[in-house]
Amino acid sequence: MVEYFFESTFGGGKCDKEINVSHICVNADDFGISSSVSEAICECFFKGLISDTTIMVNMPGAKAATAMAEKYGFKDRVGLHLNLTAGVPFTHAIQKCPEFCDLSGNFNAAFHLSNKGRLILDARHREALSAEVEAQIREFIKLGYTRLHLDSHHHVHTDLSVWSVVAPALKKYGFRSVRISRNIYCANERPGVIKRVYKSIFNARIASADLSASDYFGSGPDYDASKDRLRAGASVEIMVHPVYSGDGTLCDSDRPFVLPGYLR
């Protein structure tokens, strides 16, 4: 059985006493994208480096990842990592939409690469998107997951064109929390004013629907650069991407996996 350094409710993590915030969630994205990533995420649970993960149910490794979660006792810590940019979709209609898929029927992320596609989609694409979003939610529930929380691959749920379709689906299936848009940054990654305003509006919409998973969201380096300026008593979600390097070292993307003081 995996031993957690977090309490059972989402965002209920105990923090280092020197940290100003009250709750920290460390979520590992991309569970199920490959066997090696899923194994790296399992190791992170074993070592108490993460509190939660989110699964990509349309990827070939999803069922094997689910078996790992059941075997090692962290299935109740798994949310849905909505995926509209990689692999093969569940539904046929979206495969015929050039904003979502290439001629082979694989996701191509075209909508996410243009400002227009991120803001608005025509009726055909919206209908196809709605069917795919619901198919992924139903597969998540079919696999036996009960943590009704959503984030997404490449943060596509924060695109207005996607969120306008996702929001009704979350209500329909009773989801209880959603990752907010990134709002803490390293000094050299702070976005421009227009993007920051958009993020604030998006996060306000999630908050008004009582779905915010946290008050702040970013990477480990984002948190390290911002923690002294965060509101006292706030909650924070830290995003990580566990992988193994060529020599087998556990890493967060391309850097060694070190999260000092985040989980206690």
Task: Convert the pLDDT of each residue in 128-160 to its tens digit.
Answer: 999 999 999 999 999 999 999 999 999 999 999
pTM of the model: 0.90
CA distance 148 to 47: 25
Domain ranges of the chain: 23-79+133-256
- Three-class SS state of 81: strand
Q: Which fold has domain 23-79+133-256?
A: TIM Barrel (3.20.20)
Q: What are 49-75's pLDDT values in tens digits?
A: 999 999 999 999 999 999 999 999 999
Query: Residue 16 pLDDT more than 70?
Result: no
pLDDT at 126: 97
Going by C-alpha positions, the residue among 7, 18, 5, 38 that lies closest to residue 243 is: 38
Share of the chain above pLDDT 90, in %: 79
Range 31-51 burial, b when 16+ CB lie within 10 A, else e: bbbbeebbbbbbebbeebbbb
pLDDT (0 to 100) of residue 192: 92
pLDDT of residue 23: 87
Sequence-ordered list of residues with C-beta below 8 angstroms from that of 134, at least 6 positions apart, any chain: 169, 172, 173
Q: Is 189 helix (H, G, I), strand (E, B) or coil?
A: helix
Report residue 83's pLDDT band, with 50, 70 and 90 as the boundaries.
very high
Confidence grade of residue 10 (pLDDT, cut at 50, 70, 90):
very low
pLDDT higher than 70, residue 260: no
Contact 25, 50 (CB under 8 A): no
For 188-206, the pLDDT digits (tens) are 888 899 999 999 999 999 9
Range of weakest confidence among 3-17, 42-56, 204-218:
3-17
Buried b (16+ CB within 10 A) or exposed e, 132-149: bbbbbbebbeebebebbb
Q: Angle, nearest 10°, between helix axes 193-208 and 160-173?
A: 10
